[in-house]
Amino acid sequence: MSRIGKKPVELPSGVTAAVSGQTIEIKGPKDTQSFTATDDVTLAVEDNVVTVTPRGLSKRARQQWGMSRTVVANMVTGVSTGFKKELEINGVGYRAQMQGNTLKLSLGLSHEVNFEVPAGITVTAPKPTVIIVEGTDVQLVGQVAANIREWRKPEPYKGKGIKYKDEYIFRKEGKKK
């Protein structure tokens, strides 16, 4: 039995859900999202609660049960409050700034990195050393933050690079004479 799948997803005020076949559409104040579940699970909406139940006891049905419930819960959170990832830039001369829909990064390379922000995502740089990625799709927010971090991962000796705000960089001791 899936412990995650058994929990129903509560719909907060202002959020509505409609099921048609295997597709669920969730509307909220920030956005509208839809998800098509596999044939291994059944989606149902009753009294502002979304429930996901498996259609059998096969391994695949149990896997899809927990995963589908988590996807629906993330969609409900996304359309009501949204998701946010904060990145910090450490290093001399390392900085970021937004110009239109492009994030310009100076990361000690021979050239400036221009990162095009995809649709549905908002990227802001309130300070030259802070980048905030916001959106309603948790997967897309995480992927954009990971793509930005990929340009200069933090290194273990001085901690230079782009890191998540709550990330701990394990520091190594340098060479000794």
> Considering only CA atoms, which of 146, 133, 151 is closest in space to residue 95?
151
Q: What is the DSSP string of 80-138?
A: HT-EEEEEEEESTT-EEEEETTEEEEE-SSSS-EEEEPPTTEEEEEEETTEEEEEES-H
Domains, the chain, with CATH or none: 3-80 (3.90.930.12), 83-164 (3.90.930.12)
pLDDT digits (tens, 9 = 90+) for 80-105: 999 999 999 999 999 999 999 999 99
pLDDT recorded at residue 177: 80
* Percent of the chain with pLDDT strictly greater than 90: 89
Span 40-45, mean pLDDT?
A: 93
Span 41-45, mean pLDDT?
A: 93
Residue 3 confidence class, pLDDT cut points 50, 70, 90: confident
pLDDT recorded at residue 1: 66
pLDDT digits (tens, 9 = 90+) for 102-150: 999 999 999 999 999 999 999 999 999 999 999 999 999 999 999 999 9
The pTM for the full model equals 0.89
Neighbours of 136 (CB within 10 A): 23
Q: Is the pLDDT reported for residue 73 higher than 90?
A: yes
> Can you tell me the distance from the alpha carbon of 54 to that of 6, in angstroms, rounded to the nearest whole number?
10
pLDDT recorded at residue 176: 86
Radius of gyration of the chain (CA): 21
9 by Cβ neighbours in 10 Å (0-12 / 13-18 / 19+) ranks as buried
